[in-house]
Amino acid sequence: MVEREKLTVTIKKALIPKIDKMIDGRKIRNRSHATEFLIEEGLGVNKVKTAFILAGGEGTRLRPLTYEIPKPLIPVHGKPLLEHTLELLRSHGVDDIVMSLGYKAAKIQEYFGDGSRYGMKFSYVIEKEKLGTAGPLRLAEKYLKSTFFVIWADVLAQIDLDDFIRIHKENDGLITIALTSVADPSRYGVVTLKGDKITGFVEKPKKEEAPSNLINAGLAICEPEVLKHLPKGKFAMFEKDIYPKLAEQGKVYGYPFEGQWFDTGTHEAYEQVLKEWQQ
């Protein structure tokens, strides 16, 4: 946990009611917490500017659609799937984007360009062979020198990224994983929590045996030190090589959120997105 030191602050009496209005018992717990929050906001302490987006998959479960169109470019409400995520990031001040590409990389680069038309900066790394979900971090190491998001390109989510960052910084871990709840967790990696700390992962359990209905939502916040924990060899998976091992060391936390969440990996899921996604 983050170390704290007592500090006495004298402020204008007229500001007290405004500070008290911020207290909601969750995000802002009391006056001290409100004051700390305002100081951090003013100093820009809890800002994360960089996102690493995994956009190299072939989208095999969406064929024949993805024979011609890479999955990040499939249309959702008049714009490419990935553009919805970029808009979420931009709305929270995340403007330095690194995309890991593989399948039909040129089409994705051609569409998004350098990011200037979004008011963002885009950089690209290309997977010449399959590297898994964590392996591409090595290609992007020079871009990942400060706290960064990792986002799977086939996920759509409505999530308060500022609050997500706040929880990550307060817990002072290496990774914080966004968690969403689903009715049937048997298709996913299910997590167990103790407070905010993730104590374990169960991959695709039977519905009746699942320890919870909280699953990895395909968004995480990582510290650069995570790159030191990549296994030897080019191929590596967050789900098998990074998350479980760091959780055993008590360095992985969870952030449950209640906003919309969709995994667009199948035709059924994509159809549901077209019907239900709201942004």
Point out the residues that are catalytic: 204
Query: Which DSSP category does 247 fall into?
Result: H
The Cα 118–Cα 188 span in angstroms is: 33
Residues 6+ apart with CB under 8 A from 73: 80, 81, 82, 107, 108, 111
Between strands 214-222 and 175-181, the pairing is antiparallel
Give the tokens for residue 252. Answer: 């992985």
Query: In terms of Cα–Cα distance, which of 48, 46, 123 is closest to 93?
Result: 48
Contacts 24+ apart (CB under 8 A), 20-26: none
Q: Is the peptide bond before 256 cis (omega within 30 degrees of 0)?
A: no
Conformational region of residue 49, where left means phi above 0, alpha means psi within -120 to 50, and beta covers everything else? alpha
